[in-house]
Structure 1
Amino acid sequence: MKNIFLLLFCFMTISVFAQLQPIKSGVFHWNDFEAKTNGDRQSRAILQGVSTHLDYLSMHATTQAVGAAPSTAHANADIEELVIVKEGVMEVMIEGNGTILGPNGVLSLMPQQMHSLKNVGDTPLTYYVIRYRSKKPMKIQRSVDSGGTLMINMDSTIYKPTSVGGVRSYFDRPTAMCERLEMHVTTLDKKVASHEPHEHVETEIILMISGETAQMIDGKEYTAKAGDFYFMESQSNHGIKNTSDQPTTYFAFKWK
């Protein structure tokens, strides 16, 4: 009987994923995401669908109140995650070991690891969770060989000046789900562009930390500020610029 229920669950899961639609390139605004409160936390559903390299991709944001219970410990059988701290201080527990991440800290979590997240600061903790599964077979050993699960705080990265601002590299490596997953933080000086419009095989997300930007995606201009993000599908032609009189900072991460 247990096996029958398991098979039914698997068929239902496959059916749900089969109905997912491709995520279109464009901009997603923080203020458009409805916040739903449940006890000591809020959640915001942001997107769910498929992309060129992924047969499942979702993104949500969670806010834990001060003193909130940690998220329920669990392991993902065949899902990889990126967690990005927007505000507050987070304790990440993985297989019984704790690490502290502050604002703009990043957790790159390989599948099959028991984990939970907890607010250990004196202000609310808000973080993004990006969950994804590759269209190609999962390769756990590939992730292990490239460092496995990573936890990185911004102040542990090195700021390297550029001709238009600066950059902090977080990682550039293969993972269980990605042949390449690259992540960095860019700072642009006032009223400058990052580079000429270009395209690449990787799908990319640019997540705004501060400031105001405009992005051309396939000939259409979009704008974003802190908390918003741009989504560019594989081979989309795109280019970003700072539109304000102050520096702007954003995460950029891409995968294939």
Structure 2
Amino acid sequence: MKYTLITLFCLMTLSAFAQLKPIESGVFKWDDFKVIPNNDRVSRPILEGVSTHLDYLEMHATTQNVGAKPSTAHANEDIEEIIIVKEGTMKVTIDGESSILGANGVVSLMPLQMHSLENVGTTPLTYYIIRYRSKKKMDVSRGVASGNSLMVNADSLPYRSTSVGGVRSYFDRETAMCERLEMHVTTLDRKVASHEPHAHDETEIILMISGETAQMIDGQEYTAKAGDFYFMESQSVHGIRNINDEPTTYFAFKWK
């Protein structure tokens, strides 16, 4: 039987997706990520697999050197993205509209929108990209009705004090891929737990910004510092606490 090159490529692609494994709950360490130099930037593959609500989930980090060329403008046909600035200054352009984001700036990017990322600062720009596709049918109109793509700077958000520190809420909304996508930053100002261990239907990532924490996930304890993150699958019992007297800050975002 003869195959065209396009057919062979499609078969290889489908086979690759079929072989993706479920991502297990646990901790992912920044220092363990492989560093791949590529001209004016560096990439760090982090994870790739499937989860309860997603038939594709991939995460990587990129560092653009000062003066690096912007990423090639492109649109994702059936992939949604979250982009998080770890450090540096990023110019984000989506369908011709640009914003400047600093550290802890976040982009919630809908499918089918042309976008590019550029380092416009005087230091290297490092950012995380989380790419995902839902097991359910994509609903672009739902994402558009909920605000379309968002570009959010941390300093534009109010800080709400809590009994253990404080919270900045980024968004809690529907998207093209998610029935719910919620994201916030929590600060624990002392050696204290954020809350009692709990479980929920949403899958969750906690991405460390500063300080050190311990997280109990289904009876096993993990620790993490800046750049590391915890992954909790749907219905995993988990609870996080600050393990030092100094404040700790982290992103928490979850989806279903």
One-letter amino acid of the counterpart of residue 156, structure 1: S
Displacement of 1:94 in angstroms is: 1.2
Q: Deviations over 1:18-70 (max 9, x none)?
A: 10000000000000001111110000000000000000000000000000000
Partner Cα distance (2:182, 2:14) in 1: 29
One-letter amino acid of the counterpart of residue 125, structure 1: L
Q: Deviations over 1:132-163 (max 9, x none)?
A: 00000000000000000000000011100001
Partner of 1:17: 17
DSSP 3-state at the match of 1:107 = strand
Partner of 2:112: 112
Alignment of 1:34-49 (within 5 A): 34-49=34-49
DSSP 3-state at the match of 1:199 = coil
One-letter amino acid of the counterpart of residue 25, structure 1: S
Partner Cα distance (1:138, 1:7) in 2: 25
Alignment of 1:50-69 (within 5 A): 50-69=50-69
Tell me the C-alpha RMSD between the 2 structures. Answer: 1.2
Displacement of 1:98 in angstroms is: 1.3
Partner of 1:152: 152
Alignment of 1:43-192 (within 5 A): 43-192=43-192
Displacement of 1:12 in angstroms is: 2.6
Partner Cα distance (1:15, 1:74) in 2: 25
Unpaired segments of 5 or more residues in structure 2?
none
User: Could you say if the C-alpha distance between residues 145 and 6 of structure 1 is closer, same or farther in structure 2, counting changes exceeding 3 Å?
Assistant: farther
DSSP 3-state at the match of 2:196 = coil
Q: Deviations over 1:51-104 (max 9, x none)?
A: 000000000000000000001111000000000000000001112221111000
Partner Cα distance (1:229, 1:219) in 2: 18
DSSP 3-state at the match of 1:74 = coil
Partner of 2:243: 243
Unpaired segments of 5 or more residues in structure 1?
none
DSSP 3-state at the match of 2:144 = helix
Partner Cα distance (1:11, 1:134) in 2: 21
Partner Cα distance (1:151, 1:14) in 2: 33
One-letter amino acid of the counterpart of residue 14, structure 2: I
One-letter amino acid of the counterpart of residue 117, structure 1: L
Partner Cα distance (1:254, 1:227) in 2: 18
Question: Which segment is superposed worse, 193-202 or 89-98?
Answer: 89-98
Partner Cα distance (1:6, 1:132) in 2: 24
User: Could you say if the C-alpha distance between residues 171 and 115 of structure 1 is closer, same or farther in structure 2, counting changes exceeding 3 Å?
Assistant: same
Partner of 2:226: 226
**What TM-score does the superposition give when structure 1 sets the normalisation length?**
0.97
Partner Cα distance (1:9, 1:91) in 2: 34
Partner Cα distance (1:24, 1:59) in 2: 14
Instruction: Report the identity percentage.
Output: 75
Partner Cα distance (2:51, 2:6) in 1: 27
2:249 is equivalent to residue 254 of structure 1: no
**What TM-score does the superposition give when structure 2 sets the normalisation length?**
0.97
One-letter amino acid of the counterpart of residue 229, structure 2: F
Partner Cα distance (1:241, 1:35) in 2: 30
Displacement of 1:9 in angstroms is: 3.6
